[in-house]
């Protein structure tokens, strides 16, 4: 279970490292998350144990919420470049008639991080470290966005079978353009929803903090109430994660 959880976060880390900063390590963020949670715990320990434990756990949950937002931002930035990438690829392929040459040419017209990923793997292919099929699979795996994966693998199989790649690309671009319109409409709604959920988590944390600072209230609060508060915040983050996932589907 722990190994699967670690792999999941490491798979998310690559988006942050690719889009935001190469120094963005999950291990470093997790340590920061734990340290800040412990600091919050120790600061509130002078009030009472209930408040210290509750706010420490809430701090940990809120930092996880921030992590998910950063990952969603990174994925969305990569996704937003796809139509331009596919359009340039289709135009270049119509001239060169070769997928490999087209990938080289496309890199002159697209931006990082997709550009760097493609050029790095093309270099490995030139050195004989990757086969032709592995080249496309590795680029797809590193970008790890469904639109890119589907497009690149279709290009590979079409190139191998001699199918009309320009026609295939045009169909994909048309479909993705329609999906991007839907994503654009969702983006505003999801942004507002995430902001509301975040505000609710902050408000709930503030109210719980004030309530637990009063000795008389603490004596009347059962552990079940505190557990309910934590579960409610976790459910709120789960809903936010589902909403963010719609943008990358």
Range 116-120, long-range pairs (CB < 8 A, 24+ positions): 117/18, 117/142, 117/143
Q: Which of 74-78, 157-161, 173-177, 225-229 has the lowest mean pLDDT?
A: 225-229
54 touches 208 (CB < 8 A): yes
Res 249: pLDDT: 53
Cα–Cα distance for residue pair 66/77, rounded to 1 Å: 17
pLDDT tens-digit readout, 146-187:
888 888 888 888 877 777 778 878 888 888 887 777 777 777
pLDDT tens-digit readout, 8-38:
787 777 778 777 777 788 888 888 889 998 9
pLDDT tens-digit readout, 35-68:
998 998 888 887 777 777 777 888 888 888 888 8
Cα–Cα distance for residue pair 209/49, rounded to 1 Å: 12
Q: How confident is the prediction for the chain on average, in pLDDT?
A: 79
Instruction: Choose from 3-7, 90-94, 244-248 the range with maximum mean pLDDT.
Output: 90-94
């Amino acid at each position: 279970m722990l190994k699967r959880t670690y792999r999941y976060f490491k798979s998310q880390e690559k988006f942050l490292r690719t889009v935001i900063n190469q120094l963005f390590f999950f291990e470093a963020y997790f340590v920061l998350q734990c340290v800040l949670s412990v600091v919050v715990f120790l600061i509130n320990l002078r009030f009472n144990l209930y408040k210290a434990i509750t706010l420490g756990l809430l701090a940990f949950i809120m930092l996880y919420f921030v992590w998910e937002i950063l990952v969603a931002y990174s994925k969305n930035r990569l996704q937003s470049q796809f139509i331009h990438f596919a359009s340039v690829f289709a135009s270049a392929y119509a001239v060169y008639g070769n997928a490999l040459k087209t990938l080289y040419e496309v890199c002159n017209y697209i931006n990082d991080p997709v550009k760097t990923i493609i050029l790095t793997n093309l270099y490995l292919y030139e050195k004989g470290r990757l086969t032709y099929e592995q080249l496309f699979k590795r680029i797809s795996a590193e970008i790890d966005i469904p639109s890119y994966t589907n497009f690149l693998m279709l290009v590979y199989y079409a190139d191998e079978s001699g199918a009309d790649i320009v026609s295939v690309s045009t169909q994909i671009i048309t479909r993705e353009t329609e999906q991007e319109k839907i994503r654009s409409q969702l983006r505003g709604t999801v942004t507002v929803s995430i902001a509301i959920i975040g505000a609710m988590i902050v408000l709930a944390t503030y109210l719980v903090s004030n309530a637990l600072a009063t000795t008389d209230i603490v004596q009347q609060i059962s552990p079940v109430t505190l557990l309910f508060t934590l579960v409610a915040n976790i459910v709120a983050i789960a809903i936010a994660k589902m909403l963010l996932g719609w943008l990358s589907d």
